[in-house]
Structure 1
């Protein structure tokens, strides 16, 4: 559980609501279903228009990483690779086959299989780098939906404000309906700017940092596997892996 993300969301929303209360305003005045529908549906529609459905679905699924991020097991992986290096140097790479079968990560399993099959070191690097590049490109395309939402939401909020003002102008003869129109106008702007800067953009940036961690983890693994394939001293392999953990 990532408590910093939860704390950040609570602090951001709580600060706005508390500020509204301190100024003497009613928190209920910030609850405008019409403004919410304009901003959310408009933003989602714009993002869907520019994004492949598969990337959109993937990006929505990645949102769970904000509170339940994947485990950063780089230190554990570095220790495993170091032990594989010692075993390979002492008894040969064929003895790593049992370790390959016990691995759950497909990328780690693939790298070990290439090593055990006697694939040349540079060929291992090239094959694994293709996988890394495809993974990173796919994840970044999915994350772009949050960055795009952060760009569209304020503009859609302004559109909501204009629609609210149009509603006001149409009902100048009926003072009882002026208040709701003005409320929608201003609250739509708040929703647009608020969702963009307090949720969408921070979510996108956090997801990018998590993808970077996974990319670094995979690059570290490649360096270790290539070092083993080159017959390097286990101490050299461990020192090289340690540079990825600083």
Structure 2
């Protein structure tokens, strides 16, 4: 499980609860003032309906299903990918490209395995690049569609919070003849704005941000894979391939790429 995402969700709600309690002398009964079923329906229900209306139904459902993705500890390690490619390069230079088919059996990365099989089958390098880059672009498009869903919900949340507040203010103005009702009515009206802000800043923004980070990491990992496989197919020296692929990494990471495995040509 991704600890950062979990801490973000738990920490965010903890800060809100602390703010509520601290402003009410830590009276636990004060929490009731911030719970209003009608506001929940207006803010969450309205924003969800508007968000789904911006997408095809299937895309909206996929957007909701993606809520678990930020919490999955799915790591993309470019250093490990480079080490694997260097190992493949050594095998290819010593035993020929056909030997890569057997070496690929233990690889779990389906994208890398797909690329290796294209190379083993003697596919034209430009065609290999075209197939793999198309796969990568389509992957990124799917990811961005999901990210847009959360960004759109983040936009709709505060908007529907304001709509709920306006509805509450209208109800309050209709009861101006009763001064004792103004305070409670105003309080309920503002609760919807609070809910809208929570939707945007506590839920949607962190999820969209984490999905974007994961997308960027996976795209870089696939770019490394494509360049590495084409270099293997071209018969380049493993040390040259290593230096080429390390350019994708930050300087602080490059030196330790091959410390835990792999290596240049022996």
Q: Give the match for residue 13 of structure 2.
A: 13
Q: 1:99 to 1:175 in 2, by over 3 A?
A: farther
Q: CA deviation at 1:176?
A: 7.8
Q: Does 1:244 align with 2:248?
A: yes
Aligned residues: 246
Q: Which runs of 5+ in 1 are unaligned?
A: none
Q: Does 1:43 align with 2:47?
A: yes
CA distance in 1, matches of 2:202, 2:135: 33
Q: Give the match for residue 113 of structure 1.
A: 117
Q: Give the match for residue 257 of structure 2.
A: none
* TM-score normalised by structure 1 residue count: 0.91
CA distance in 2, matches of 1:67, 1:164: 36
Q: Give the match for residue 221 of structure 1.
A: 225
Are the equivalent residues in 2 in contact too, given 1:81–1:224 (CA < 8 A)? yes
Q: CA deviation at 1:161?
A: 0.5
CA distance in 2, matches of 1:181, 1:167: 8
Deviations 1:70-114 (A, max 9, x none): 122322222111110001011111011123343333322221111
CA distance in 2, matches of 1:244, 1:21: 48
Q: Give the match for residue 60 of structure 1.
A: 64
Q: CA deviation at 1:197?
A: 1.6
Q: Does 1:146 align with 2:150?
A: yes
CA distance in 2, matches of 1:3, 1:64: 13
Say which is worse superposed, 11-20 or 209-218, in terms of deviation.
Answer: 11-20
Q: Give the match for residue 261 of structure 2.
A: none
1:64-79 matches, cutoff 5 A: 64-79=68-83
1:150-229 matches, cutoff 5 A: 150-172=154-176, 181-229=185-233
CA distance in 1, matches of 2:48, 2:74: 26
Q: CA deviation at 1:31?
A: 1.3
CA distance in 1, matches of 2:189, 2:231: 62
Q: CA RMSD in A?
A: 2.0
Are the equivalent residues in 1 in contact too, given 2:5–2:206 (CA < 8 A)? no
Deviations 1:183-203 (A, max 9, x none): 331100011112212221121
Decide which structure has greater helix share. 1
Are the equivalent residues in 2 in contact too, given 1:62–1:207 (CA < 8 A)? no
Say which is worse superposed, 6-15 or 132-141, in terms of deviation.
Answer: 6-15
Q: CA deviation at 1:180?
A: 5.4
Q: CA deviation at 1:62?
A: 2.6
Q: CA deviation at 1:174?
A: 6.6
Q: Give the match for residue 260 of structure 2.
A: none
Q: Which runs of 5+ in 2 are unaligned?
A: 251-266
Are the equivalent residues in 2 in contact too, given 1:150–1:200 (CA < 8 A)? yes
Q: CA deviation at 1:63?
A: 2.2
